[in-house]
Amino acid sequence: MKDTHKHQGLRNQLVTTINEKGIIDKNVLNAIAAVPRHLFMDSGFVDFAYQDKAFPIAAEQTISQPYTVAFQTELLQVKPNDKVLEIGTGSGYQTAVLLEIGIRVYTIERQKELFKKTKLFLPKLNYKPKKIIFGDGYKGLPEEAPFDGIIVTAGAPFVPKPLLAQLKIGGRLVIPVGDEVQTMTLFVRTGEKDFEKHEFGNFRFVPMLKERN
C-alpha cells in the first residue's frame, strides 16, 4: 500500500479539476488532496484512480466520482467534530474524505462482502469512523441520532422519513433522489416539523436497495 510523490501530484491535478468544476470549500479540496484514492480501488484500476470518474469496486458497486463526492460533501456544510451519518459505505472513499475534515462519521453498508472488506481496510490507513454498520440505510441509525448531517451515496427512489427525523434542527440531509437518474437534493431542518428543500442538477448513482445481502 504505497502512496508516492507521483500519486500526490496526480491528486493535486484532480483538485484543480474539481475546483474548475465549481468546488470551492477549502476543507473539501484539502480532503480530496489528502485521501489516497488509488488504494480504495482494485489494483487493476490504479492508473485511473485520479481521473474524475466513477469506477467499479467489489460486488457490482462503484466508488463515486471525486467531483460527486466533493459536491455532496460541500453541500453538507459540516465542520470538524460534527456528527455525520453516511448511507452506503462502499469502498470507504467518501468516509475517508469526511474523516479528513475531522468529522465524527457513522456509516452503514448493506452489502456484507463490502462491509467486511471496508471495515478491515479503513483502519489500515488510519481512518477510524465511530461506527461501521452492516444494515439497512433506509432506517438510518436512530440510536445515534440526531446528526448534524446525513449523506446518502446511493440513488434513493424516495426520501426515507427516518433520515429526516434523525437530523438536528439546522442539520442537513444530502440525498440523490430518483430511479434512472437522480436529482441531488438538500433538506435543511429549520424546525421540529419544518424542512427547506433545494435541488441541484442530475447525477447517476447505483440504486439504494432494500434487503441486506
Positions marked catalytic: 64
| C-beta of 115 vs 187, nearer to ligand SAH | 115
Beta pairing, strands 55-56 & 62-63: antiparallel
Q: What are phi and psi of 51, to 5 degrees?
A: -85, 150
Shortest approach of ligand SAH to residue 193 CB, angstroms?
A: 25
Shortest approach of ligand SAH to residue 24 CB, angstroms?
A: 21
| C-beta of 52 vs 136, nearer to ligand SAH | 136
Shortest approach of ligand SAH to residue 93 CB, angstroms?
A: 4
| C-beta of 188 vs 206, nearer to ligand SAH | 206
Q: In angstroms, rounded to a whole number, what is the distance separating the alpha carbons of residues 81 and 105?
A: 9
Tell which residue, 87, 85, 68, has the closest CA to residue 28: 68
Tell which residue, 94, 68, 85, 82, has the closest CA to residue 162: 85
Give the 3-state secondary structure of residue 123: helix
The residues, any chain, with a CB within 8 Å of residue 65's CB and separated by 6 or more, are 52, 53, 54
Angle at 34 between CA 9 and CA 128, to 5 degrees: 150
Q: In angstroms, rounded to a whole number, what is the distance separating the alpha carbons of residues 75 and 27?
A: 12
Shortest approach of ligand SAH to residue 138 CB, angstroms?
A: 5
Q: Please, where are the H alpha helices in the chain?
A: 5-20, 26-34, 66-76, 93-100, 112-124, 161-165
Shortest approach of ligand SAH to residue 8 CB, angstroms?
A: 20
Which stretches of the chain bind ligand SAH, using CB under 6 A? Answer: 61-64, 87-88, 90-91, 93-94, 108-111, 114, 136-138, 153-154, 206, 208-209
| C-beta of 155 vs 171, nearer to ligand SAH | 155
| C-beta of 187 vs 205, nearer to ligand SAH | 205
